[in-house]
């Protein structure tokens, strides 16, 4: 196959080459997905080992999400221009080297910097994994390839907390990062040997590097202000970066409106449904990120469970999504997105309020499992119809851009939520060392997460009207319910 897409995709899924291409995409995306699910489980041990406060734990999560959210659209554009396999492989190598640096980090500062580097690698490889499948497989096999990719990604998401807990309680938290090295060592040679190079021959013009930098700086400064506020209060160290972040955000919006080829074309928001669903995405993924960041801490710090027990406890949500997401996608197609996007967040809100029972002396079957079952049912009802509605709200030719924007919105929402929740709930820098203080703040955090979900439900009910049928991207089978979507909310 030539380096241009003019020749058309021709690989069949049932051939040895097709299976190797699928393996490459699964390993690459699974590496990033596994990393995002296992790190949260390791946070208490990271804090103890590096003598770090809560702000360091927040930055351990947010440094990765910051660079990933800020650069993921640029990463997709680079793949289209310079070759999807090339950028994908560079992303894997970059991610693996950054993982090595995380694993040997001697201090909290080095770990945070390495996590930011990991996010850059993730921004290069994450858009490429699905793009590879769409670009190289025969049209008749794309739906099956994407379905297999998403299903196997779901398995990676399911085993992530278990693997993370086992590693933390066994060889130690550093292996949460070092486990990426053997995965990359398999993925890179397979990609170079079996995956044909493809690119978009129509991709022209300059990259919106300035837009990407401004967006990342706006998010970074705002996040810094939110994380620093509990320790420094309303001081210049908080106010100056906070105001600067807001001003840079305004400048970013103005710049995107003036560029001929912006990273974030304002015109795409002319679709009322697209704008509404992205607003719903911000609400629900802020809540999801806050929940998954704090719940594993709660179970270890307050309930006194091991890392393995805390990580394994979250499995019901993933299992329910694996079993039910495809059915929810088909239901959304049949009745339209309005009802699933309203009921799903409300169920999730109920699950998070039930999670307030998981305090000292919590019994899994009585205090934790009911919350996770209700949450899993809500996420199953919500995630697939939400993504399908995003794609259906724009022309097919802009489906990739729409998906990328929605992906970035979800990550940015999670970034802000992890930074803001400790501030609004009164978690001090040492709160995670005090079970009583952390437990009280956790209960308020779950209330705030529930409020965000109710807001998302109200937005969906009042702004999403007509069923979106028959317009979903024909190659994105999992979005329409043929297969389950990737399950981790930070890696959608």
- Residue pLDDT, tens place only, 248-269: 999 998 998 888 778 788 888 8
Terminal alpha carbon distance of the chain:
30
In the predicted model, is pLDDT for residue 235 greater than 50? yes
Contact 170/44 with Cβ under 8 angstroms?
Answer: no
How many angstroms separate the CA atoms of 172 and 237, rounded?
35
How many angstroms separate the CA atoms of 206 and 343, rounded?
43
pLDDT attached to residue 477: 40
In the predicted model, is pLDDT for residue 206 greater than 80? no
Q: Which residue has the tokens 């990120």?
A: 289
pLDDT digits over 342-391, tens only?
999 999 999 999 999 998 989 999 999 999 999 999 998 888 788 778 87
pLDDT attached to residue 245: 92
pLDDT attached to residue 438: 93
In the predicted model, is pLDDT for residue 433 greater than 90? no
Show the CA angle centred on residue 208, arms to residues 239 and 86, nearest 5°. Answer: 120
Q: Which residue has the tokens 């699964």?
A: 26
Helix or strand holding residue 71 (H, E): helix 54-82
Q: Taking Cα atoms as reference points, which of 382, 199, 389 lies closest to residue 283?
A: 382
Give burial (CB, 10 Å; 0-12/13-18/19+) of 436.
exposed
pLDDT attached to residue 354: 97
Contact 342/465 with Cβ under 8 angstroms?
Answer: no
Contact 343/285 with Cβ under 8 angstroms?
Answer: no
Show the CA angle centred on residue 287, arms to residues 165 and 305, nearest 5°. Answer: 25
- Mean pLDDT over the full length of the chain: 84
Q: Which residue has the tokens 């801490």?
A: 297
Mean pLDDT of 51-67: 90
- DSSP assignment of 267-330, as one string? GGGGSHHHHHHHHHHHHHHHHHHHHHHHHHHHHHHTS---HHHHHHHTHHHHHHHHHHHHHHHH
Q: Taking Cα atoms as reference points, which of 408, 48, 429 lies closest to residue 219?
A: 408
pLDDT attached to residue 492: 38
How many angstroms separate the CA atoms of 91 and 67, rounded?
13
| Torsion sign across C-alpha atoms 35, 36, 38, 43 | positive
In the predicted model, is pLDDT for residue 473 greater than 60? no
Band of pLDDT at residue 454, cut at 50, 70 and 90: very high
In the predicted model, is pLDDT for residue 398 greater than 70? no
In the predicted model, is pLDDT for residue 36 greater than 50? yes
Distance of CA 231 to the CA centre of its chain: 28
pLDDT digits over 135-180, tens only?
788 877 776 777 677 667 666 766 777 888 888 888 999 999 999 9
Please count the other Cβ atoms lying within 10 Å of the Cβ belonging to residue 397.
8
Q: What share of the chain is helix, strand, coil (3-state, %, to 5)?
A: 80, 0, 20
The angle that helices 108-136 and 54-82 make with each other, rounded to 10 degrees, is 30
- DSSP assignment of 173-206, as one string? TTHHHHTHHHHHHHHHHHHHHHPPP---TT--S-
In the predicted model, is pLDDT for residue 405 greater than 50? yes
Highest averaged pLDDT of the listed ranges 21-30, 114-123, 473-482 = 114-123
In the predicted model, is pLDDT for residue 2 greater than 90? no
In the predicted model, is pLDDT for residue 113 greater than 80? yes
Mean pLDDT of 268-290: 91
In the predicted model, is pLDDT for residue 205 greater than 80? no
In the predicted model, is pLDDT for residue 11 greater than 80? yes
- DSSP assignment of 430-489, as one string? TGGG-HHHHHHHHHHHHHHHHHHHHHHHHHHHHH--S---S-S-TT-GGGGTSSPPP--G
Q: Which residue has the tokens 């909290």?
A: 108
pLDDT digits over 300-353, tens only?
999 999 988 998 898 888 888 878 877 777 777 788 888 999 999 999 999 999
Radius of gyration of the chain (CA): 21
- DSSP assignment of 2-48, as one string? -SSGGG---B-TTSHHHHHHHHHHHHHHHHHHHHHHHHHHHHHHHHH
pLDDT attached to residue 400: 64
pLDDT attached to residue 187: 92
In the predicted model, is pLDDT for residue 399 greater than 50? yes
- The tokens describing 270, both together, are 């002319």
Contact 223/66 with Cβ under 8 angstroms?
Answer: yes
How many angstroms separate the CA atoms of 396 and 475, rounded?
10
How many angstroms separate the CA atoms of 201 and 6, rounded?
8
Q: What proportion of the chain, given as a percentage, has pLDDT over 70?
A: 89
């Amino acid at each position: 196959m030539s380096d241009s897409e003019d020749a058309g995709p021709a690989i069949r899924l049932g051939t040895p080459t097709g299976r190797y291409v699928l393996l490459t995409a699964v390993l690459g995306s699974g590496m990033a997905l596994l990393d995002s699910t296992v790190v949260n489980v390791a946070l208490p041990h990271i804090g103890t080992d590096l003598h770090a406060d809560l702000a360091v734990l927040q930055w351990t999560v947010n440094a990765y999400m910051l660079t990933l959210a800020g650069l993921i659209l640029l990463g997709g554009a680079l793949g289209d221009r310079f070759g999807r396999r090339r950028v994908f492989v560079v992303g894997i190598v970059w991610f693996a080297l950054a993982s090595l640096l995380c694993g040997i980090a001697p201090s909290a500062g080095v770990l945070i910097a390495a996590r930011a580097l990991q996010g850059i690698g993730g921004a290069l490889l994450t858009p490429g994994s699905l793009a590879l499948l769409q670009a190289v497989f025969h049209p008749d096999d794309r739906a099956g390839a994407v379905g297999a990719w998403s299903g196997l990604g779901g398995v990676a998401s399911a085993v992530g907390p278990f693997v993370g807990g086992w590693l933390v309680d066994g060889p130690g938290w550093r292996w949460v990062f070092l486990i990426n090295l053997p995965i990359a060592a398999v993925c890179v040679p397979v990609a170079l040997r079996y995956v044909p190079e493809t690119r978009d021959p129509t991709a022209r013009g300059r990259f919106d590097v300035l837009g990407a930098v401004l967006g990342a700086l706006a998010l970074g400064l705002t996040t810094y202000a939110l994380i620093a506020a509990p320790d420094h209060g309303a001081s210049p160290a908080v106010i100056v970066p906070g105001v600067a972040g807001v001003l840079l955000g305004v400048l970013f919006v103005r710049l995107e409106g003036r560029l001929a080829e912006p990273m974030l074309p304002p015109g795409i928001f002319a679709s009322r449904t697209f704008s509404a669903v992205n607003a719903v995405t911000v609400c629900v993924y802020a809540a999801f990120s806050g929940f998954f960041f704090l719940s594993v801490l709660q179970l270890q710090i307050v309930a006194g469970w091991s890392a393995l027990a805390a990580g394994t406890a979250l499995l019901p949500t993933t299992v329910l999504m694996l079993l039910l997401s495809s059915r929810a996608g088909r239901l959304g197609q049949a009745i339209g997105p309005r009802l699933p996007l309203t009921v799903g967040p409300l169920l999730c809100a109920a699950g998070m309020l039930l999670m307030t029972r998981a305090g000292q002396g919590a019994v899994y079957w009585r205090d934790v499992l009911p919350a996770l079952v209700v949450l899993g049912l809500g996420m199953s009802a919500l995630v697939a119809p939400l993504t399908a509605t995003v794609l259906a709200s724009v022309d097919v030719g802009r489906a990739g851009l729409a998906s990328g924007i929605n992906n970035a919105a979800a990550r940015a929402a999670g970034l802000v939520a992890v930074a803001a929740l400790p501030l609004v709930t009164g978690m001090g820098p040492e709160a995670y060392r005090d079970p009583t203080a952390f437990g009280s703040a956790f209960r308020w955090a779950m209330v705030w997460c529930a409020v965000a979900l109710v807001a998302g439900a109200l937005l969906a009910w009042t702004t999403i009207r007509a069923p979106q049928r028959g317009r979903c991207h024909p190659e994105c089978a999992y979005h329409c319910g043929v297969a389950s979507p990737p399950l981790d909310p930070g890696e959608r």
